[in-house]
Amino acid sequence: AVEAAIPEPQRAAWIKHTPKPFSTPEEFEKDAIRHIETTLARSMYNCDELAAYSGTALAFRDRLIMSWNQTQQQHTFADQKRVYYLSLEFLMGRALDNAMLNVGQKDVAAKGLADLGFRIEDIINQEHDAALGNGGLGRLAACFLDSLASLDFPAWGYGLRYRYGIFKQEIIDGYQVEVPDYWLDFNPWEFPRHDVAVDIQFYGHVNRYQNDEGKTVSQWEGGEIVRAVAYDVPVPGYGTETTNNLRLWSSKAASGEFDFQKFNSGEYESSVADQQRAETISAVLYPNDNLDRGKELRLKQQYFWCAASLHDIVRRFKKGGHAWKDFPNQVAIQLNDTHPTLAIPELQRILVDVEGLEWDEAWIIVHKTFSYTNHTVLPEALEKWSVPLMQLLLPRHLQIIYDINLQFLQFVERTFPKEREVLSRVSIIEESQPKMVRMAYLAVIGSHKVNGVAELHSDLIKTTIFQDFVKIYGPDKFTNVTNGITPRRWLHQANPRLSALIASKLGSYDFLKDLTQLNKVENFVQDQEFRKEWREIKLANKARLAKHIKDTTGLEVDPKALFDIQVKRIHEYKRQQLNIFGVIHRWLALKALSPEERKATVPRVFIFGGKAAPGYWMAKTVIHLINQVGKVINADSDVGDLLKVVFVEDYNVSKAEIIVPASDISEHISTAGTEASGTSNMKFVLNGGLIIGTCDGANIEITREIGENNIFLFGNLAEDVEELRHGHLYGNYQLDEGLAKVFDEIRNGRFGDAQAFTALINAIVDHGDYYLVSDDFNSYCKTQELIDEAYKDQEEWLTKSITSVARMGFFSSDRCIEEYAETIWNLEPQKPKESAALDA
């Protein structure tokens, strides 16, 4: 019917002239050169690598846009349910390599670029990471987008277009220094949609009045308006024509460039200042990981993004002409953590205040539409907003939240009439000074499903932070979806040789679309030629990392040494301090050996990387200690190549792609019960690295899948943590002996000014050792010794490596997305039609 609306001669002309995507190196060259000459206004004589990157990116962008158009048209015609993934963070990394692989044209581009005198790796390296996220949560969102498109699900991501992503980290004199990450100078992957703009209201007051039908209605009036402008980023699926959309909102002054009234009345400066104030909303990503700071600007970001996204979603829904009660059959909205929780009262507001639905009718729709993913049980990370702040910024939303709360508490009172104390425990409003809105409770109450991100974590949320809600709603509302990672980026792109080796044995690259097929790799575990290649690939990946280390730090490390890697955000609960104390312990032990004995030890390179939140002093101290220890140990001729310590500056997604394939061992050593899932653990194992870890997060399921012989577990269990903590505070605290010796060395100034590290030591010795560093220290060191022994048997190690990879099929983000689609969203894929079929 839609097609019939366009008369035949026009359709024919359009179809005839629709550009055909390139498919040979020559055609690629033609497109790239045209972009370099005309879009970039460069020529053969000043085409540097950056220009070649830009031309290549634009040529691929053209392809993506065509499949993107096609996908969006088809989804509109099909008019079926879509999922909207609301996330304040999308840690996408680089796009070009991924686009080339997903559309299957990397070889074509490599050949074409070679014809023009460029190496494809150099061109790929020109790209700036899109770093709109802090860590695991943001990267998970990016993996999910890749899977949603690869599985042909009609899905959109909604986020904020920060002008500055996560800061760049420089290490100066061993300290972290933050440098702004301005990444938008040239970004070929986004399309500004100046026609898609939404005006967002803040502040003001609520007017209640009777309408013509005598009904009391609320109207939010006055205040300030900021404009949200859409920027669209195409998200290509792997091996499919589906290209989904990630829509990022950018803020600007609502009245355009200037407030003309002010401008004309001579208030030029203040009109420019207004504009800047508006633009501040999407200026910068908050760099905290697992900490809630409750800043007004952050709340503004959250509402700005939720309101713009919902306006867009509702507009699209209304175009379909459905009845409101059909909204949850057309729309599923996933809340990535509590950051988008304001979308719940916002949808209720739209339905009741703007569309005139009855409260109860609206609430049923809201509740069926939303679902919420929790990513942490750490109390300091649970979002709360002060009631006075919300009253000021979002007066109507606060009323709605109070009304939601009232109805909820009345329901609880009816269900548990004898348990009045439960009411204050579960109230959305915390009766503190000032009162606070508990966002996680609002998210639970406004959603039909709540999930954790690994089995242990999903169990823990049911027995700790949401215990009362399990009683109130029953256990079925709470579920688990264990995290996963996309094998396209984290195997095929990061480790192309390993991917090719696997494909050569399995007969195709189909495992990239169905990762469970990896199990067939186990058939080749005794194949000598296969083993040899596997080993060579790991060594080559280590050599690549060694080169990166040499180029960036000047330090030489031997690729034959055992590479022991811990890369992730620096946080006390992740326990990089345990690792570095272990390194000192190892160093002391090495120095105590005779030169003869030393010869028998396995050389190790400890590699650290990760950012500390700028205001997190303790985490910064850990970075400083790692660098100081490195300085001393790397210069110690007693140990020479037997021990090296490296801190890789500015860990990010593109560095992870080099680091992850190069590990022999990686460390996932959080205090049991604190790491919700972890996802780098999955990336490392998928690339043939073994891991040392605690019984925490997804480590537990990884163990179940790969077998306990293939993982090095240590430390106390989650169920014992509380009692141990209690013992530290009220019992007779005994510091581990080995750790005490490590502290003596630090205190003696072995690693520079001892004072610099007092707080780190005192947290353990004097302040209750909340993260159980001392309790786990001995077990950790012993397990590290087991690793040394195991590494001596290279054949057995190799067997573990291959076997583990073969058993990692479960951890594909495709599996997660299918679970979400089936159990939470009730969503069907929409297979792309041949373009001919759509044109016919």
Catalytic amino acids? Answer: 375, 568-569, 574, 679, 683
CB closer to ligand F58 out of 55 and 678: 678
DSSP code of 673? T
CB 196 within 8 A of CB 177: no
CA-nearest of 111, 131, 132, 129 to 120 is 111
- Other CB atoms within a 10 A radius of the CB of residue 710 amount to 20
Joined together, the tokens standing for residue 420 give: 């009045």
CB 317 within 8 A of CB 365: no
Indicate the residue among 36 and 381 with the shorter CB distance to ligand F58.
381
Least distance from ligand F58 to the Cβ atom of residue 68, Å = 27
Measured from the CB of residue 679, what is the shortest distance to ligand F58 in angstroms? 5
Spatial neighbors of 496 by CB under 8 A, at least 6 apart, are: none
Neighbouring residues of 27: CB distance < 8 A, sequence distance ≥ 6:
none
CB of 88 to ligand F58, least distance (A): 7
Q: Pick the closer one to ligand F58 by CB: 405 or 813.
A: 813
Q: Report the nearest approach of ligand F58 to the CB of residue 676 (Å).
A: 4
What is the closest distance, in whole angstroms, from the C-beta atom of residue 104 to ligand F58 in the complex?
A: 29
CB 5: neighbour CB atoms within 10 A? 7
Q: How far is the CB of 823 from ligand F58 (least distance, A)?
A: 17
Long-range CB pairs of 585-588, under 8 A, 24+ apart, other chains included: 585/738, 585/739, 585/741, 585/742, 585/777, 585/781, 586/643, 586/781, 586/784, 587/629, 587/633, 587/636, 587/639, 587/643, 588/741, 588/742, 588/745
The least CB distance from residue 89 to ligand F58, in Å, is 6
437/249 Cα distance (integer angstroms): 25
To the nearest whole angstrom, how small is the minimum distance from the Cβ of residue 203 to ligand F58?
25
Looking at the Cβ atoms of 136 and 630, the one nearer to ligand F58 is 136
Please tell me the distance from the alpha carbon of residue 559 to that of residue 564, in angstroms, as a whole number.
Answer: 12
Binding site for ligand F58 (CB under 6 A): 134-137, 140, 288-290, 375-376, 381, 453, 483, 675-679, 697
Q: Which residue number, 675 or 745, has a Cβ lying nearer to ligand F58?
A: 675
Residue nearer to ligand F58 on the CB measure, 373 or 627: 373
DSSP for 241-260 reads S-EEEEEEEEEEETTSSS-H
Query: How far apart are alpha carbons 409 and 399 in whole angstroms?
Result: 15
Least separation in angstroms between residue 621's CB and ligand F58 is 20
Question: H or E stretch including 719?
Answer: helix 718-730
- Residue among 56 and 447 whose Cβ is closer to ligand F58: 447
Closer Cβ to ligand F58, 502 or 816, answer by number: 816
Nearer to ligand F58, 140 or 706 (CB): 140
Name the residue nearer to ligand F58 (CB basis): 240 or 677: 677
Report the nearest approach of ligand F58 to the CB of residue 609 (Å).
16
Report H helices in 79-105.
Answer: 96-102
CA distance 300 to 295: 9
**In angstroms, what is the minimal distance from the CB of 305 to ligand F58?**
13
In 3D, which of 442, 440, 439 has the Cα closest to residue 409?
A: 442
- Is residue 52 a contact partner of residue 123, using CB atoms and an 8 Å limit? yes
Beta carbon nearer to ligand F58, 150 or 813: 813
Whichever of 51 and 160 has its CB closer to ligand F58, that residue is: 160
- Residue pair 816/482 in contact (Cβ under 8 Å)? The answer is yes
* Least distance in angstroms from the C-beta of 779 to ligand F58: 22
3-class DSSP state of 132: strand
Distance CA 47, CA 66 (A): 27
Which tokens is 159 given? 């986020």
CB burial class (10 A; 0-12, 13-18, 19+) of residue 125? middle
Q: Buried b / exposed e across 143-154, counting CB within 10 Å, b at 16+?
A: bbbbbbbbbbbb
Q: Report DSSP state, residue 294.
A: -
CA pair distance 249, 303, nearest whole angstrom = 12
Query: Containing H/E element for 171?
Result: strand 168-172
**Rounded Cα gap, residues 729 and 207, in angstroms:** 53
Residue nearest to ligand F58 (CB): 136
3-state SS track over 614-631 = CCCHHHHHHHHHHHHHHH
The answer to whether residues 99 and 65 touch, using CB atoms and an 8 Å cutoff, is no
Give the DSSP letter of residue 87: -
